[in-house]
Amino acid sequence: MEKTNINFVSDMNSVNDSVNVVVGCGLAGIVIANKIATELNEPVVIMERKDHIGGTCYDYVDSETGIHVHKYGPHIFRTNSTEVWEYLSKYTKWYPYMHRVLGVIDGISVPIPFNLDSLHKALPVTLADKLEEKLIEKFGFNTKVPILELRKTNDKDLNFLADFIYEKVFLKYTLKQWGVKPEQLDPSVTGSVPVFIGRDSRYFQERFQGIPFDGYTAMFERMLAHPNISVMLNTDFLKIKNTVQYKRLFYTGAIEEYFDYKFGKLPYRSLDIKIETFNVPSFQEVSVVNYPENYDFTRITENKQFLNDKSDKTVLTFEYPMDFEEGKNERIYPILNPTNQAIYDQYLAEAKKIPNVYFLGRLGAYRYYDMNRTIQGSFETFNEIMGK
């Protein structure tokens, strides 16, 4: 597919009460802008704080190596929705990619999520055989079990296995990633990486999986290259909020920022991402390797493996989790628990009082959304304004 030009603007002349304003040029904002421009034939102006489009899905081609680099960590698209897949497929060809992850446990690389192959790599043969038989008898074959549910079994052997996986895989990784124990997180977070009673080593099992053939940014450029869409980079909407006129406002930033923190701050986790080039053709067996036990970083990503980029060098991404601090780093992961949900619910109630203003995306909805769910959320918002 050919690349096309985005209409970048730097002034407010095109913003008035007949224009749809989208705050944030990440995935949620790009999709809602594209839908309004193409299906309603209405003008849209996107305001983005960063100096690039795509939000945390942004990627670029490294000038030294020619490797596509995911600037904010790995993004692998997957969905069971034919509607979502066909929608994106209008703007990209797909590189067929099925994500596989290894985790280093006691110095041994095992498949993640923990499955029957992981069991046999991590434990002695006779013990692994015994545990496999009990797991299949208890839960069936090709089933997924949340680790906290596995820990509730009454069988002493399965209790041993549950404690082993919990300590070696979930607890230490969660403490690094989230700063809390798994029990302190919403089940939607801990349940996203279950124990898999089977031998499917893919990280995801969705019907459609892949990476845009020439990268996410190229796909986003095509989605935004429409005469009805204008993009303003390096623009902080909140600094000009009181002067902006609009027909509708779609806000994909942090909902508490919009309301000037009137009900308090919502906590997030962030990442310090280090991207380094190494003078070796390859570094690791798969694109992503997790380190639950060792080092301060949680995982290493070898970017060239996503699109099978050819280079005699490799570009690695190291992720160091940390708390979000205003003005110092990015909000990346909402921390879901009852206390934070109660704060968000107050903001949501306030949001519903404002006509023609919609909050969406991971930050607007304060949800741990993957790309598929983010797109579906934008679809739902579009259907709402259409009265569907």
Average pLDDT, the chain: 94
For position 3, what pLDDT does the model report? 61
Residues linked to residue 179 through DSSP beta bridges, in sequence order: none
CA distance to 93, 115, 253, 255, 304, per residue, from 49 (Å): 29, 42, 10, 15, 28
Does the pLDDT of residue 192 top 70, yes or no? no
The residues, ordered by sequence, that sit 6+ positions from 38 with a Cβ below 8 Å of its Cβ are 226, 228
pLDDT of residue 331: 95
User: Residue range 378-382: average pLDDT?
Assistant: 97
Q: CB neighbours of 57 closer than 8 A, spacing ≥ 6?
A: 26, 27, 72, 75, 216, 220, 371
Whether residue 191 is predicted with pLDDT greater than 70 in this model: the reply is: no
- In degrees, rounded to 5, the angle at the alpha carbon of residue 271 between the alpha carbons of residues 316 and 178 is 120
Q: Is the pLDDT of residue 201 over 70?
A: yes
User: pTM, whole model, 2 decimals?
Assistant: 0.93
Question: pLDDT digit string (tens) for 24-83?
Answer: 999 999 999 999 999 999 999 999 999 999 999 999 999 999 999 999 999 999 999 999
State the number of CA atoms in the 13 A half-sphere of 369 facing the CB.
22
Structural domain boundaries in the chain = 20-98+211-267+334-385, 103-197, 270-323
Per DSSP bridges, beta strands 59-61 and 288-290 are unpaired
Are residues 326 and 266 in contact, defined by beta-carbon separation less than 8 angstroms? no
Number of residues assigned to the chain: 388
What are the helix (H) ranges across 193-297?
216-224, 237-240, 255-258
Residues 107-124 have a mean pLDDT of 95
Q: How many other C-beta atoms can be found within 10 angstroms of the C-beta atom of residue 17?
A: 8
Tell me what pLDDT residue 185 has.
79
CATH of span 20-98+211-267+334-385: 3.40.50.720
Model pLDDT for residues 151-181, shown as the tens digit of each residue: 888 899 999 999 999 899 888 898 999 888 8
Q: Among positive and negative, which fits the CA dihedral 88, 33, 47, 265?
A: negative
Among 385, 376, 383, smallest CA distance to 356 is for: 385
